[in-house]
Amino acid sequence: MSNHPVQTVSPSGDKLKVVLAVLAVVAGIVGFYFLSDKPSLVRASVLVAGLIVAIALAWTSTQGRGFLTFAKEAIRETKKVVWPTRKEAMQITAIVFVFVLVMAIFLWGTDKLLEVLLYDVILGWK
């Protein structure tokens, strides 16, 4: 008995829906810039209409439903996160700033030491 992974094949209609969704987004963006002489409300409406059509097309495809499932799981996982309090966040930020400052001073000192060694001691240019 073989244990080969099974690949699901999406129908070609799903690929067509995704392509049409991308084209709808592009059409909305092109329409937004093509109608530059029209009022902003008309331009924004064309852009939003393109996005709504794209979302509707993508929603009906397998990839769109998979993305929706992924987004729901991501939101659920985000709710499980224990966020730090304001005090903890400020302390961690201060530690990072101090570390960056110490590293900057260390790298500056190393640069100056190498400069003195290279130009003064080895090459004697100064």
Same domain assignment for residues 48 and 107: no
Number of domains in the chain: 2
Same domain assignment for residues 61 and 17: yes
Distance CA 77, CA 48 (A): 30
Same domain assignment for residues 73 and 126: no
Domain limits at 55?
A: 10-81
Distance CA 53, CA 47 (A): 10
Residue 3 located in a structural domain: no
- What region, left, alpha or beta, does residue 36 occupy, with left being phi > 0 and alpha being psi -120 to 50 degrees? alpha
**Distance separating the N- and C-terminal Cα atoms of the chain:** 79
Mean pLDDT per 10-residue segment, the chain (126 residues) = 60 80 92 91 93 88 85 94 94 98 98 92 77
Among 61, 81, 101, the domain-final residue is: 81
Same domain assignment for residues 48 and 104: no
pLDDT at residue 61 in the model: 84
pTM of this structure: 0.49
